[in-house]
Each structure stands twice: as structure tokens, then as C-alpha cells.
Amino acid sequence: MNVSAARKIMVDSQVRVNDVTDRALQAAMLVVPRERYCAPDRAHAAYAEVEVEIAGSRRLMQARDVGKLLQALAAREGETALAIAAPYAGAVLAQMGLKVTVQEADPSVMAVVEAGLAEASVETAVAPFDAPAGSGFDILICEAAVAHRPDAWIAALKDGGRMVLVERAGHGGKAVLYVRGREGVSRRELFDAAPPMLADLAPAPVFAL
């Protein structure tokens, strides 16, 4: 497979046509080897319009949705970023000149993505998702869906910090941008999205008689 050609087709047919107009972001997505962040036997599907397996239940978010989330962040060179369950997004941010930490909770997922992240000069951490690996970040991104925003993630942002994630209840979900201010947190819905749920933060089932 000609991966350079596949990346260009992905950006042209999945990213640009979905209102991702940031040229620096497009340029980064044309360079970052998405196939390095999925299961080796699924590398052939890395540029398809699907959620590709990494390990276990974890999947890469579709490039279209990653691009739209990243654009909403308005990331700037030199900023710090925490990418939680978001190895591909983390690599794209690093390509854009940010200092990035990618956090995974499952060592088997990190084993798949860590070589590509090392090549991208991304720091890595293996820790529970409800305990962010650091604080004072300018931006935070997650590629999986959560039932509701984890307050610990908001706390990991500096004043003025931005976070994008997908909040999902049932079959549908909404991509959301949060901005932490000195007097509170603002929330803005961005677009419909329904990536797989982040199992580690899934709410416990409730049984009723």
C-alpha cells in the first residue's frame, strides 16, 4: 500500500470535505503515519473511513472526527497537550509543534502505539484514565467517548485551557469543547459523533427490581 497516497486520499475525502480548513492541521495529517497507531494486522484499514482496532476494545477515532476535534482546539505551536486514549491525535499535535503526553490505561494498547509515539517525540504514561498524567495543560483531547466529562480532566487544564471530547449516552453522542476560565467552565457542542465508549470510565450498570 502506498501510504502517502492513502493519507492524501484520507485528508481530501474525509477531512477537508468536513469543514476542516486549518492548513497546519491538514499538513500534519498528511504526514503522521496513522497505520503506526492501530493493530499491526489492521494497518491496511488505517486510512479507511472506519474506527480501526488498536487492542482489545480500543479503536482509533475516524479521521474526520479527529480532524474536527483538533480544529476546535485551535492548537498553537509550543503549547502543552494531554492526549488521553488518543495516540493518533497526540501524534498529530506533536507534528504541529506542541509538547504532547499520550496517556493510556491499558499496557496492551501502549505496547501497540509506543514505538510510533517515540518516533513522534511524544511522551507517554500508563495510568488510570481518572488520574491525568500531569497538570497545567493548555489542551486535552480524547478519541473515545465518555458518558460525561471527568472533572479530573478539567482540573488538569490551566486557566484558559481547552478540552475536546465526545459525550455519549446510548447510540448518539455530541463532540463538545470545554474552556476552563478563572470563574468557571464553558461548554459548547460542536457536532454529532458516536465513537466507541471508553470502557475504563463507563458508568456501572444499574439494576432495578
Element (H, E) at 117: helix 107-119
Burial of 55 (0-12, 13-18, 19+ CB in 10 A): middle
Cell 498528511 belongs to which residue? 30
Q: How far apart are CA 50 and CA 161, in angstroms?
A: 30
pLDDT value at position 183?
87
How far, in Å, CA of 91 to CA of 86, rounded?
9
- Grid coordinates of 118: 517515540
Q: What are the backbone angles phi and psi of residue 106, rounded to the nearest 5°?
A: -105, 115
> What confidence score (pLDDT) does residue 203 get?
52
Q: Name the DSSP letter for residue 106.
A: -
pLDDT at 209: 52
Grid cell for residue 33 = 503515519
Low-confidence ranges of the chain (pLDDT < 70): 201-209
Determine the Cα–Cα distance for residues 29 and 51; give it in Å rounded to an integer: 16
Residue 1 confidence (pLDDT): 74
Cβ atoms within 10 Å of 118's Cβ, excluding its own: 11
pLDDT digits (tens, 9 = 90+) for 67-94: 999 999 999 999 999 999 999 999 999 9
Q: What cell was used for 6?
A: 492513502
pLDDT at 206: 46
- CATH number for the domain whose boundaries are 3-200: 3.40.50.150
**What is the reported pLDDT for 137?**
98
